[in-house]
Structure 1
Amino acid sequence: MTKNAFEDHNLDETKLAGYLPQNTESTLEYSLKVMSELVHWLVKSGVGHAEFSASLRVLFYNESIKELEFLDQKKTDSSISLLAGLNRRDVSSFRIENGGYHKVIQSFTDTLPISVPARVIGLWVYKKLPKVLSIVGAENSFEYLVRQISTEKHPRSILSELKRLGLVSEANGNVILHQESFTPLPEANATKQIFAENVADHIAAGVNNLTQHNNLFLEQALFANELSEESIDYLKEKTAELWEKFSKSILAEAIQRCKIDEGRLNANHRFRVGIYQYDEKDSSINEL
Structure 2
Amino acid sequence: MERGNNTPLTQALYRILRPLARLLLRNGIAYQQFAELVKRAYVDAAREDFQGRDRKPSDSRTAVMTGLTRKDVKRLREQSEAVNGTVPAAGNRVLRVVSGWVHDPAFQEQDGAPAVLAFDGGFAELVRRYSGDMTPRAVLEELERVGVATESDGVHLLRRSLIAGDDHERLAIFGEGVSDLVRTMDHNLSGGSPLFQRTLSYNRVPERWLPQWRAYSAERCQALLEELDDWLARADADVSGEGMDEPLHRTGVSVFQFEDPSGSPEANDD
Pairwise CA distance, 1:86: 0.8
Q: Does 1:78 align with 2:97?
A: no
Distance 2:258 2:242 in 1: 37
Quote the residue 2:252 is aligned against.
272
Q: Does 1:216 align with 2:194?
A: yes
Quote the residue 2:229 is aligned against.
251
Structure 1: gaps (5+ residues):
1-18, 99-103, 111-184
User: Which of 175, 178, 183 pairs up with 1:196?
Assistant: 175
Pairwise CA distance, 1:230: 2.4
Alignment of 1:122-271 (within 5 A): 187-211=166-190, 213-258=191-236, 259-260=239-240, 262=242, 264-266=244-246, 268-271=248-251
Report if aligned partners of 1:80, 1:91 keep a CA contact under 8 Å in 2: yes
Pairwise CA distance, 1:76: 3.2
CA distance change for structure 1 residues 40 and 222 in 2, over 3 Å: closer, same or farther?
same
Q: Does 1:107 align with 2:83?
A: yes
Distance 2:82 2:193 in 1: 26
Task: Supply the AA of the counterpart residue of 1:36.
Answer: R
Q: TM-score, normalised by structure 2?
A: 0.59
Report if aligned partners of 2:48, 2:56 keep a CA contact under 8 Å in 1: no
Quote the residue 2:130 is aligned against.
none
Structure 2: gaps (5+ residues):
87-163
User: Which of 47, 55, 71 pairs up with 1:65?
Assistant: 47
User: Greater CA radius of gyration, 1 or 2?
Assistant: 1
Pairwise CA distance, 1:256: 2.0
RMSD over aligned Cα atoms = 3.3
User: Which of 7, 16, 20 pairs up with 1:38?
Assistant: 20
Pairwise CA distance, 1:94: 4.7
Distance 1:106 1:228 in 2: 51
Task: Supply the AA of the counterpart residue of 2:81.
Answer: I
Q: In percent, how many aligned pairs have the same letter?
A: 19
Report if aligned partners of 1:58, 1:105 keep a CA contact under 8 Å in 2: no
Task: Supply the AA of the counterpart residue of 2:11.
Answer: E
Pairwise CA distance, 1:35: 1.3
SS in 2 for 1:281: coil
Distance 1:24 1:265 in 2: 48
SS in 2 for 1:61: helix
Task: Supply the AA of the counterpart residue of 1:204.
Answer: R
Distance 1:263 1:74 in 2: 30
| Deviation readout 1:178-221 (Å, 9 max, x if unpaired) | xxxxxxx983212211221111101110111112x113211111
Q: How many residues align?
A: 186
CA distance change for structure 1 residues 41 and 23 in 2, over 3 Å: closer, same or farther?
closer
CA distance change for structure 1 residues 270 and 39 in 2, over 3 Å: closer, same or farther?
same
Q: Does 1:52 align with 2:31?
A: no
Task: Supply the AA of the counterpart residue of 1:64.
Answer: A
Task: Supply the AA of the counterpart residue of 1:68.
Answer: F
Report if aligned partners of 1:78, 1:88 keep a CA contact under 8 Å in 2: yes
Quote the residue 2:10 is aligned against.
28
Which has the bigger relative contact order, CA under 8 A and spacing at least 6? Answer: 2
Distance 1:70 1:231 in 2: 54
Task: Supply the AA of the counterpart residue of 1:195.
Answer: F
Q: TM-score, normalised by structure 1?
A: 0.56
